[in-house]
Structure 1
Amino acid sequence: MTSVRRLFPTLLIAVFMLVGGLASPAGAHPMSTSAVLLDIRDDEVAGEVQLPIDRLAVAVHRELTPESVLGADRSYLHDYTAGHIAAVGDDGTPWTVTLGAPTVRTIDATAHLVYPLGIRPPDGRVTGFDLRYDVVVEELVTHRVIATVRYDFDRGILKTDDAETLGVLDWDTGSLHVPAGEGSWLRGFVTTVRLGTEHVGEGADHLLFLLMLLVPAPLAAAGGRWHAAGPSRRRAVLRVVHVVSAFAVGHSLTLALAAAGVIHVPSRPVETLIAFSIAVSAIHAIRPLVARGEVLIASGFGLVHGLAFASLIGDLGLDRGSLVTTLLGFNLGIELTQLLVVALIMPSLLALARTALYPAFRIALASVGLLFSASWMLERAALTSSDPFEGVQTWLVGHPLTVAASLAVLAVGALRLGRRMPV
């Protein structure tokens, strides 16, 4: 009997461990959660509410399906959801909350009922407010609602990577403070500058186009061939300034027009034309197409690159109050990145252009650019399914200092060798 009593605690622990082990596979799959996504603008807060249909059915004590929530149960669910969402300004004034037409969307492998959300202050000026929300959680104690701000210009939240989680709403927490109206235009401006820098710095096609334009800049075209421009470095530097300025004017014009909604071109032909622009600039780097052609190419195809830049701004869903600031910041980021590329690459190109190695280097580099552009054109025109050079391009873009340092080493070596070689 004594031995049994001694064994009892051990047996009890074993039972608990067995039960826990059997239960663990089910516990590995967390219950679906709701989400409230907010886009904070100057005069309203937009966004959406995402409700998992299986949890919603438990809360409203109804059998719900993806078909019924948009059919027989549509009106009831709209009233139920709207009745459990409220917004109150920091001064205690209630704000107007509206829900748009619902849709069904699969999120994390679970069917969700999704409502567009609109929250408007009575005076038309968005400031901080309390979001009061207990859809589903007022009936289901275990349910969680994740509230996220996915756009707020003044606080530098412009895209998915910047999204900020406000907190979790549940049975115990039925309200969260939304810090709208905080931050400043300067913070949003700095963020858009960073966006422009990232967009060009991570875009292999934009960088390659600029590089193909810079390669012949230290040279002079005569008789359908490239020749050394002579001892005047000032003339070579002026050519670089003209190329960069022409590209800036071209892309700035279409960037502004497209962002303002004046012109719109589908992304696929734009991306294909960008690849074509690299091919033209690469051919020009091998053999001049026309005198000072790099300036004409930079300005003409700069218009096309501006349309690609505008597509990112269009995806941000800007309101009118921040559009001008965003255009200025984004464009400044683009120009700063271009100037950085010129500062890293051009001294080495100017040095190499004074050596006998430059013709072979220029043709080899332009041939690589032509190969990359052809691959991009085929992929973007949907003639091939993938780009075989994507890994190389990603590595080159991800290691700009290594590329610049390698080019500098090559230039120094060529200059030293050039003293013993006829130019």
Structure 2
Amino acid sequence: MPRLLPARTPAARLLPVFLLAALMLVGGLASPAGAHPMSTSAVLLDVRDDRVEGEVRLPVDRLAVAVDRDLTRASVLGADRAFLKRYTAEHVAAVGADDRPWTVTLGSGSVRTIDGVAHLVYPLGLRPPDGRVTTFRLRYDVIVEELLTHKVVVTVRYDFDRGILKTDDAETLGVVDVDTQSLDVPAGEGSWLRGFATTAGLGIEHVGEGADHLLFLLMLLIPAPLVATGGRWHAAPSARRCIVRVVHVVTAFALGHSLTLALAATGVIDLPTRPVETLIALSIAVSAVHALRPLVARGEVVVAAGFGLVHGLAFASLIGDLGLGRGSLVTTLLGFNLGIELTQLLVVALMMPSLILLARTALYPAFRIGVALTGLLFSVSWTLERAALTSSDPFEGIQTWLVGHPLLVAVAVAALAVVARHTAPQAPSDGGGTLGAGAH
């Protein structure tokens, strides 16, 4: 006798229908949002001592609806240029705490694609009547006054006294819409000390995350516990002499990069980034070769001073990207330099005790040669990539890992030094070759 299936209840028969309807409803709601993201405007502000600069970003599609015109990438810079600039200027205003209006200026517009949407972008300038920027109220209703659903994101992307110096620090003040057409912009509330501390942090970050700068410093430190005689490396007679050598190396590098950092940041010298970065890679190669065999007497001091000049140009490029005004330039240079020196001293403090201990063991020649060859390999790879002779650096992964785990590297070297001290305590004369001059 065949088995009979249980009869389906009315609710069970309707369940597939409900599921299908739910899927269609979710798909219908989700698809428009995914296919047609709502464009927003943006106001980006750079707060300085005597003025506020920035830019206004207007999505062309939303602007067309607001002004009731057919706008294209070509027309906003052509037939509609004057009208749109006049329209935008009429809907931007700034008022100080004393209720006095500020002067508003718009620069020449350009079209830029942002998040896949064409935007009309105007440089913005706001100037207080007394030439002193303090907290002010920004009144803004471009597009918003006609398109009630439109949103405008207002962001401060630079304010030295409040420690806002780069994109990662940018502060979103709020959103302008049909209900909120003005926002208070804080200014003049911080201090030079906060900006100084932030730039010092940038110096620490720039060196701490820069594999090339760290590797250059390490290549200079490796021969510091040694002395060169007859073109060969030998263990230094005392720890005191090692410390003196390290002080000389760090001081020479600091003087070199400080000089070019100041000259480049003030615009006295200006070199393209690619040649500078290529020279930095070459500086690592030279210091690695010197770690293998002494090139000249006290060569690491000479290399540190000479190539410190090149590294200073690279440091200056970051300061240039910040767009600093003259008022904060001196403070920035001092803070940034302090951050660099603190990072260098930290590297020295982490590595030199272990290197001094290792240098008095039979294991140091092999360690020194291995590290120097690794540095030479990395530097050659960087040089080829930065000179546009290769498209990528095959060692980028391991470099990133090493830079991301400095304490682990320092602990590993320290452990190696302790083990070597107990298993191979005697340091023989370091290996052959006659390249370079001796230093007694």
Task: Establish whether TM, by shorter chain, passes 0.5.
Answer: yes
Higher RCO, 1 vs 2 (CA within 8 Å, ≥6 residues apart): 2
In the alignment, is residue 57 of structure 1 matched against residue 45 of structure 2? no
- Give, in whole Å, the separation in 2 of the partners of 1:419 and 1:15: 80
Question: In structure 1, what is the equivalent of residue 88 of structure 2?
Answer: 81
Question: In structure 1, what is the equivalent of residue 249 of structure 2?
Answer: 243
- Give, in whole Å, the separation in 2 of the partners of 1:113 and 1:340: 47
In the alignment, is residue 127 of structure 1 matched against residue 134 of structure 2? yes
Distance 1:420 1:313, change over 3 A: closer
In the alignment, is residue 396 of structure 1 matched against residue 387 of structure 2? no
Distance 1:172 1:42, change over 3 A: same
Shift of 1:420: 7.8
Q: Which amino acid aligns with 2:265?
A: A
Question: In structure 1, what is the equivalent of residue 159 of structure 2?
Answer: 152
Q: 1:372 aligns with which of 364, 375, 378?
A: 378
Question: In structure 1, what is the equivalent of residue 37 of structure 2?
Answer: 30
Question: In structure 2, what is the equivalent of residue 207 of structure 1?
Answer: 214
- Give, in whole Å, the separation in 2 of the partners of 1:199 and 1:115: 32
Q: 1:110 aligns with which of 103, 117, 120?
A: 117
Question: In structure 2, what is the equivalent of residue 412 of structure 1?
Answer: 418
Shift of 1:422: 6.9
Question: In structure 2, what is the equivalent of residue 191 of structure 1?
Answer: 198
- Give, in whole Å, the separation in 2 of the partners of 1:135 and 1:256: 42
> More displaced, 22-31 or 359-368?
22-31
Question: In structure 2, what is the equivalent of residue 227 of structure 1?
Answer: 234
Q: 1:298-377 maps to which residues of 2 (within 5 A)?
A: 298-377=304-383
> More displaced, 274-283 or 21-30?
21-30
Shift of 1:229: 1.3
Q: Which amino acid aligns with 1:282?
A: A
CA deviation map 1:250-283 (0-9, x unaligned)? 0000000000000001000000000000000000
Shift of 1:203: 0.3
CA deviation map 1:68-93 (0-9, x unaligned)? 00000000000100000000001111
| Structure 2: tracts of 5 or more residues without a match | 1-9, 430-440
In the alignment, is residue 71 of structure 1 matched against residue 98 of structure 2? no
- Give, in whole Å, the separation in 2 of the partners of 1:389 and 1:36: 41
Question: In structure 2, what is the equivalent of residue 164 of structure 1?
Answer: 171
SS at match of 2:290: helix
- Give, in whole Å, the separation in 1 of the partners of 2:210 and 2:361: 31
Alignment length (residue pairs): 416
- Give, in whole Å, the separation in 1 of the partners of 2:139 and 2:300: 59
- Give, in whole Å, the separation in 2 of the partners of 1:19 and 1:335: 61
Shift of 1:30: 2.6
Q: Which amino acid aligns with 2:400?
A: T
Q: 2:275 aligns with which of 266, 269, 284?
A: 269
Distance 1:12 1:404, change over 3 A: closer
SS at match of 1:296: helix
Cα-Cα RMSD: 1.9
| Structure 1: tracts of 5 or more residues without a match | none
CA deviation map 1:6-60 (0-9, x unaligned)? x99x999986874453232102343110000000001100000000000000000
Distance 1:142 1:349, change over 3 A: same
In the alignment, is residue 292 of structure 1 matched against residue 298 of structure 2? yes
CA deviation map 1:331-359 (0-9, x unaligned)? 00000000000000000000000000001
Does the CA-based 8 Å contact 2:136-2:185 persist in structure 1?
yes
- Give, in whole Å, the separation in 2 of the partners of 1:95 and 1:388: 54
- Give, in whole Å, the separation in 2 of the partners of 1:323 and 1:90: 28
- Give, in whole Å, the separation in 2 of the partners of 1:283 and 1:13: 71
Distance 1:93 1:414, change over 3 A: same
Distance 1:54 1:234, change over 3 A: same
- Give, in whole Å, the separation in 2 of the partners of 1:207 and 1:16: 58
SS at match of 1:94: coil
SS at match of 2:102: strand
TM-score by length of 2: 0.92
